[in-house]
Structure 1
Amino acid sequence: MPVAYTIQPTYAIDDASLLETDLTTCTLLVLIGSGTFSYAVLSPVTRRFLALKSYSYQPRTLAVADLEMIEQIFDADKLLFTAFKDVLLAFDSPDSTLVPESLYQSQLKKDFLHAAHLEKMQEAVLADHLPDLGMVHVFATDKDILGFLRKEFSSDRVVHAYTALLKSYRQDNDVQFSDGVVFIEIQPQHFALTIYAAGKLLLQQQFAYRSGLDIVYYIVNSLRQLGLNEQQAKIKLGGALTHDSQVYQELNRFLPRLDWVKKPHNFLYIAKMNDVPAHHFHNLYALALCV
């Protein structure tokens, strides 16, 4: 017989303000990745983050297994059944591409995506418009997981996680740096690489990695192909890294201008969130810029 158990969050951050707030006036920001399910509660009136939870489980190759784990999270976490005012769903999926707005046609979004990525079974193809960049972000996610979450939350508001990252990076003054700035959002098995120079977006792509040296290779290779120097470009890191982690140490050996990304400004954070390094949940906090 299968063993029943209750899945537990790897991070859970809140304080008394969560109980003192009418959550039906709040926005729930949900981020789904490979083997991860995270959410944050935001009060739009005060622009204050009130709570955060993050769950991790072993990534599977079959989407049905991922869906089963998400269903277990719903069984264990009753806060998800709150009647929030708004719910935004974000997917950190590998199949995405940026299309110039001037060339984009909605009826061709699948063709744009499949020019860069193979078509998959049970995929839903969606698009985010980024008028500030003159781009449209076309992406795919699993149709069954999307359908389950839309039904549970009664929400059709869906974005790609990298759309939120792009909005957040534009707040950083370093995007104007002429020698280039590389933003890295690191997850357990993959990372997003985004490069700007002189205010212009040059590249955004997801890569798989096994060690920090893999990340170094992709950074150096991408910069050189764009005519930039890895010794001069600024590298800004997001994700659950620390100075003593193996990945950080390997990056630090070859890339002299390392720094950390900051939480999106113009928002308030409870004290317990400020006790956690700002770069750890940057991709989750950035979803507030899409509300």
Structure 2
Amino acid sequence: MPVAYTIQPTYAIDDATLLETDLTTCTLLVMIGSGTFSYAVLAPLQRKFLALKSYSYQPRTVAMADLEMIEQIFDADRLLFTAFKKVLLAFSSADNTLVPREFYQQQLRKDYLQAALPHKSQDAVLTDEIAELGLVNVFSVDKDMLGFLRKEFSTDDVAHAHTALLKGYRQDADHTASEGIAYAEVQAQHFTLTIYAGGKLLMQHQYAHRGGLDIVYYIVNSLRQLGLSELQARIKLGGALTKDSQVFQELSRFLPRIEWVHRPDGFLYIPKMIDMPSHQFFNLYALALCV
């Protein structure tokens, strides 16, 4: 017998501003990951975030698990049926690679991805151009998931979550630190590590983890391979972390220069968002930089 799920958001943040706004003038920013579905509503003229909602669920082993759960979210969340002026879909996964713009050729996009990681034949291969870094982000998305979301939202605007992170980190003046800076966007089962030194992007990669010690290992190993010291480099954390969590405590034992990232500049946030820790939902807010 099929298991029935009652989908409830992990976070649901808004205020009277949402009801007072014509949402057909607004932008919906949607982030899809394994076991997660989050979105934020942005009023583009005021550059103000009006609402945020995030769902988490346990992925099952069947191939359609994520799609089935997202279908149930649509059944439960009527706001998603609003005729927003613009909808941006973003996918958070490890299935991507960065290619220098001068070497990129559109007809070879599948080859770039296959050279970097195994590629599933049922996936669609898409790209983001990151002009400010001279890079093209080549990524793959499950065709069934992409087709469902494009149809439901009537949009062709698609991006990769790592593109948003790169744009967000470039706003941070600390990314030019000569001693190096490692940004870690931490989620429940994976984290994305991005390292800069002297304003130059040295690496970005997503890793699976089972706890803080895994994250420490990848950060330390990556910094050392790049000729940087984990004792001197600054570490900025974002995502689903709290200061009293076990993961944070384990990171603090080995990485002495830990800080938090701050929500992107240049936008307004409703009071309930400002009351939240500034590093939470950094990746979702940063999608506004991709619109």
Same fold (TM over 0.5): yes
Shift of the 5–80 alpha-carbon distance from structure 1 to 2, 3 Å rule, reads same
Distance 1:66 1:255 in 2: 35
- Whether the aligned pair in 2 keeps the contact of 1:63 and 1:142 (CA below 8 Å) is no
Distance 2:209 2:63 in 1: 21
Kindly provide the CA deviation profile for residues 250-275 of structure 1, in whole angstroms up to 9, marking residues without a partner as x: 10000000000000001000001111
Which residue of structure 1 aligns with residue 105 of structure 2? 105
Which residue of structure 2 aligns with residue 196 of structure 1? 196
How many Å apart are 1:5 and its aligned residue? 4.2
Distance 1:55 1:99 in 2: 32
Which residue of structure 2 aligns with residue 143 of structure 1? 143
Alignment of 1:1-291 (within 5 A): 1-291=1-291
Distance 2:39 2:84 in 1: 13
More off after superposition, 217-226 vs 3-12: 3-12
Q: State, as a whole percentage, how many aligned pairs show the same letter.
A: 74
How many Å apart are 1:243 and its aligned residue? 1.0
More off after superposition, 112-121 vs 196-205: 112-121
Shift of the 5–213 alpha-carbon distance from structure 1 to 2, 3 Å rule, reads closer
Kindly provide the CA deviation profile for residues 142-198 of structure 1, in whole angstroms up to 9, marking residues without a partner as x: 110000000000100000001000000000011110010000000110000000000
Letter in 2 for 1:173: A
More off after superposition, 1-10 vs 140-149: 1-10
Letter in 2 for 1:167: K
Shift of the 4–133 alpha-carbon distance from structure 1 to 2, 3 Å rule, reads same
Give the total of aligned pairs.
Answer: 291
- Whether the aligned pair in 2 keeps the contact of 1:29 and 1:42 (CA below 8 Å) is yes
Shift of the 152–215 alpha-carbon distance from structure 1 to 2, 3 Å rule, reads same
1:229 aligns to what SS in structure 2?
Answer: coil
How many Å apart are 1:61 and its aligned residue? 4.2
Distance 2:103 2:4 in 1: 51
1:256 aligns to what SS in structure 2?
Answer: coil
How many Å apart are 1:6 and its aligned residue? 3.0
Stretches of structure 1 that go unaligned for 5 or more consecutive residues are: none
Kindly provide the CA deviation profile for residues 91-117 of structure 1, in whole angstroms up to 9, marking residues without a partner as x: 001111000101000110110001111
Distance 1:113 1:270 in 2: 39
Stretches of structure 2 that go unaligned for 5 or more consecutive residues are: none
* TM-score using structure 2 length: 0.98
C-alpha RMSD over aligned residues? 0.9
Distance 2:60 2:276 in 1: 29
2:132 aligns to what SS in structure 1?
Answer: coil
Kindly provide the CA deviation profile for residues 124-143 of structure 1, in whole angstroms up to 9, marking residues without a partner as x: 11110011101100011111
- Whether the aligned pair in 2 keeps the contact of 1:234 and 1:257 (CA below 8 Å) is yes
2:98 aligns to what SS in structure 1?
Answer: strand
Letter in 2 for 1:195: I
Distance 1:178 1:61 in 2: 44
Distance 2:224 2:212 in 1: 18
Distance 1:213 1:5 in 2: 33
Distance 1:176 1:221 in 2: 21
